[in-house]
């Protein structure tokens, strides 16, 4: 008798655990062997995943803040956070970004190659009216816009297949090195999801939470994305026009200067003399005369200040460039010199074609 009662109790418990509310973020596939006690830990996550994020005190505090600060429906947030658990691959990937560990000559092969160039030319032809409009409105060269979209997502082909809510939550609460940053992005994502009626957890992106053809983080999506085709919605997945306008607006906002050099190759007479000046900071530091006094020569004719960039262009070879403010503006998109140089090299290869 006692056994039968227990069995019925278990059945009821499993039934309540696996009943998923109609607006749940993710379906819960199974109840894990140890799920019951965890699920019973609070009243509000009976339908939640085992080890779900809402069991964590800091997440409960975060939910409270978001609900208060933005008048956000707390039940929606509780359901969302209790439906997801840590995605460890996100942390692993964040610790092994190719920008950090791959030498430039290897890194750039992924982006500056025949297929990426040909696809870029085709993308530019399909979208030339929007590119001309963006170039005119924001002063950003069309080839940089195309190259940036090409490097980010292969012109919108690879925009990420991970639900960004789980990724951002994992990084916000289990990646202490940048936890505060990702908490702000998670907050922005929640606001965007409400504003755009996406439904929390229904938006896919990169493992670090970047969105759409241009891989904007949520805060940039809110701040700088633009409805460039004027259809009343900002859609960075399906509208190349919106993607083009948004990239141009982003670069302009971060200091892009029209009709300026991007980078010029440089000859360095004494590498030791400039070793503390190369790859230094994120701003141009000297004009061409000051660089020449240090034994750094280029074909630059303007008097703009430039920074000195050094990258490995072969296993036993490094090359130098003088880089303008525009180069550092591309670094505002992704703070990697290898990334910025790849975008610029791809743009230079595209630029030889007429728009």
* Interacting residue with Ca ion among 19, 75, 118, 231 (CB under 5 A): 231
- Pick the piece of the chain touching Ca ion (CB under 5 A) from 13-21, 47-55, 228-236, 306-314: 228-236
- 238 sits near Ca ion (criterion: CB under 5 A): no
| DSSP notation for 255-269 | T--TT---EEEEEES
What residues numbered 40-99 form the site for Ca ion, per CB under 5 A? none
Distance of alpha carbon 52 from alpha carbon 34, whole angstroms: 13
Cα 256 versus chain centre, distance: 19
Closest CB to Ca ion among 83 and 239?
A: 239
User: Closest approach of Cβ 211 to Ca ion, in Å?
Assistant: 14
- 196 sits near Ca ion (criterion: CB under 5 A): no
- 227 sits near Ca ion (criterion: CB under 5 A): yes
User: Closest approach of Cβ 195 to Ca ion, in Å?
Assistant: 14
The neighbour count for residue 274, using CB atoms within 10 Å, is 19
Closest CB to Ca ion among 165 and 250?
A: 250
Closest CB to Ca ion among 220 and 239?
A: 239
- Pick the piece of the chain touching Ca ion (CB under 5 A) from 130-138, 190-198, 210-218, 233-241: 233-241
- The CA–CA distances, whole Å, from 259 to 61, 93, 121, 277 equal 49, 37, 21, 26
Are 330 and 147 in contact by the 8 Å Cβ rule? The answer is no
| Kind and range of the H or E run holding 298 | strand 296-298
Distance of alpha carbon 228 from alpha carbon 116, whole angstroms: 25
User: Closest approach of Cβ 235 to Ca ion, in Å?
Assistant: 5
Closest CB to Ca ion among 249 and 310?
A: 249
What are phi and psi for residue 312, nearest 5 degrees? -80, 115
Residues classed as catalytic: 152
* Interacting residue with Ca ion among 38, 185, 187, 242 (CB under 5 A): 242
Q: How many CA atoms lie within 13 A of 169 on its CB side?
A: 27
Residues forming contacts to Ca ion in the complex (CB under 5 A) are 227, 229, 231, 239, 242
């Amino acid at each position: 008798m006692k056994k039968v009662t227990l069995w019925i109790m278990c059945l009821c418990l499993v039934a309540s655990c696996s009943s998923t509310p109609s607006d749940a973020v993710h379906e819960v596939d199974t109840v894990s062997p140890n799920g019951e006690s965890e699920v019973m830990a609070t009243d509000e996550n009976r339908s939640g995943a085992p080890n779900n994020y809402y069991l964590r005190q800091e997440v409960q505090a975060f939910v409270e803040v978001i609900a208060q600060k933005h008048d956000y429906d707390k039940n929606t947030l509780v359901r969302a956070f209790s439906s997801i658990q840590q995605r460890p691959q996100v942390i692993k990937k964040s610790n092994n970004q190719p920008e950090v560990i791959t030498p430039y000559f290897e890194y750039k092969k992924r982006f500056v190659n025949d297929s990426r160039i040909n696809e870029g030319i085709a993308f530019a032809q399909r979208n030339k009216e929007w590119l001309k409009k963006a170039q005119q409105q924001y002063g950003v060269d069309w080839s940089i816009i195309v190259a940036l979209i090409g490097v980010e997502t292969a012109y919108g082909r690879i925009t990420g297949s991970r639900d960004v809510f789980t990724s951002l939550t994992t990084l916000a609460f289990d990646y202490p090195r940048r936890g505060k940053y990702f908490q702000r992005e998670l907050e922005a994502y929640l606001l965007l999801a409400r504003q755009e009626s996406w439904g929390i957890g229904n938006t896919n992106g990169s493992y670090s939470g970047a969105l759409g053809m241009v891989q904007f983080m949520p805060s940039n999506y809110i701040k700088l994305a633009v409805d460039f085709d004027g259809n009343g919605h900002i859609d960075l997945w399906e509208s190349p026009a919106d993607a083009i306008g948004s990239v141009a607006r982003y670069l302009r906002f971060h200091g892009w200067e029209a009709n300026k050099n991007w980078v010029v190759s440089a000859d360095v007479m004494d590498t030791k003399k400039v070793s503390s000046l190369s790859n230094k900071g994120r701003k141009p530091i000297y004009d061409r005369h000051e660089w020449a006094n240090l034994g750094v020569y280029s074909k630059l004719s303007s008097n703009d200040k430039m920074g000195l960039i050094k990258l490995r262009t072969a296993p036993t070879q490094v090359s130098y460039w003088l880089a303008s403010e525009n180069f550092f503006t591309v670094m505002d998109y992704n703070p990697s010199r290898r990334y910025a140089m790849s975008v610029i090299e791809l743009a230079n290869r595209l630029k030889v074609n007429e728009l």
